[in-house]
């Protein structure tokens, strides 16, 4: 989805604040938010990491930007556990004084049911183009490379295709590729002063440039 989470290349953001000697968690609830997600994925096994990532992406954009990181984490956990029927929204709302933001509903997406490929289609040195895909669901293809051309510089192992896994689709694995894009291919204004960006992309996102 072209959501608020897909921030790469967006203008208007200001100073980056680096906190010296930042602790792992700043307070108890941050650690508990993180731990609840680990327990829900690893022990309760009620959802997978891709469903979790997508739950954060489905937050109302206003809530997403206003929330701190660990607020987003537990908002995703709460939303998924409600959607999976383990708890109810009423149970949460009744325990707080104020609004309890949750993720917006999941979109219906097309399942990619192709078999896991036997071998990688692309090799190092190949010119590839990122396909012009617009899915309303989860994807790990950032919008800033959509339709852009780059060069495969490394073939990484097969990994579960997230666009399926986040929506209960067919489990399939695909090669992932480190694709290098020159800055001028991505942004052609004078402001763009990165030299190159390497994006890690699943095979289904790519097509060969002849």
Partner 1 sequence: MTQANASPEQRLNALKTTLEDKKLIPEGALEQVVHDYEEEINWHNGAKVVARAWLDPEYRKRLLSDGTAACAELGFEGIQGEYIVALECLPNTHHAVVCTQCSCTPWPVLGLPPNWYKSPEYRARVVRNSREVLRELGQDLPSDVNILVWDTTAETRYIVLPLQPIETIGWSEAELLKIIGRESMFGIAQVTAS
The residues in 22-41 that bind partner 1, with binding defined as CB under 8 A, are 22-25, 27, 29, 31-36, 38-39
- Structure tokens that stand for 37 in this block: 């997600």
CA distance 137 to 145: 17
Residues 139 and 122 sit within 8 Å (Cβ to Cβ): no
Short-list 152, 201, 151, CA closest to 176: 201
25-43 as b/e: b if 16+ CB within 10 A: eeeeebeebbebbeebbee
In the complex, least distance from residue 202 CB atom to partner 1, rounded to whole angstroms: 6
Is residue 166 near partner 1 by the rule CB under 8 A? no
In the complex, least distance from residue 80 CB atom to partner 1, rounded to whole angstroms: 11
In the complex, least distance from residue 61 CB atom to partner 1, rounded to whole angstroms: 11
> In degrees, to the nearest 5, what angle opens at C-alpha 84 toward C-alphas 83 and 86?
110
**One residue of 48, 74, 104, 121 binding partner 1 per CB under 8 A:** 74
Short-list 79, 36, 39, 38, CA closest to 56: 79
Is residue 191 near partner 1 by the rule CB under 8 A? yes
Q: 86 or 209: whose CB is closer to partner 1?
A: 86
Q: x/- string (CB under 8 A) for partner 1, residues 78-117?
A: x--x----xx---xxx-xxxxxxx----------------
In the complex, least distance from residue 93 CB atom to partner 1, rounded to whole angstroms: 8
Is residue 47 near partner 1 by the rule CB under 8 A? no
CA distance 195 to 189: 13
Is residue 70 near partner 1 by the rule CB under 8 A? yes
In the complex, least distance from residue 183 CB atom to partner 1, rounded to whole angstroms: 8
């Amino acid at each position: 989805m072209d959501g608020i989470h897909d921030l790469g290349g967006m203008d208007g953001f200001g100073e980056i604040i680096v906190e010296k000697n930042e602790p792992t968690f700043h307070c108890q609830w941050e650690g508990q938010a993180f731990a609840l997600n680990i327990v829900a994925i690893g022990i309760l096994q009620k959802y997978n990491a891709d469903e979790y990532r997508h739950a954060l992406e489905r937050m109302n954009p206003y809530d997403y930007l206003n929330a701190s990181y660990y607020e987003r984490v537990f908002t995703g956990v709460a939303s998924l556990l409600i959607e999976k029927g383990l708890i109810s929204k009423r149970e949460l709302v009744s325990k707080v004084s104020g609004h309890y933001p949750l993720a917006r509903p999941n979109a219906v997406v097309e399942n990619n049911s192709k078999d896991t490929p036997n071998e990688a289609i692309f090799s190092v040195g190949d010119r590839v183009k990122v396909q012009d895909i617009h899915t309303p669901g989860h994807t790990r293809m950032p919008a800033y490379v959509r339709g852009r051309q780059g060069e495969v510089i490394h073939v990484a192992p097969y990994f579960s295709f997230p666009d399926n896994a986040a929506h209960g689709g067919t489990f399939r694995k695909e090669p992932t590729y480190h694709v290098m894009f020159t800055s001028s291919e991505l942004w052609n204004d004078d402001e763009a002063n990165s030299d190159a960006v390497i994006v890690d992309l699943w095979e289904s996102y790519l097509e060969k440039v002849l």
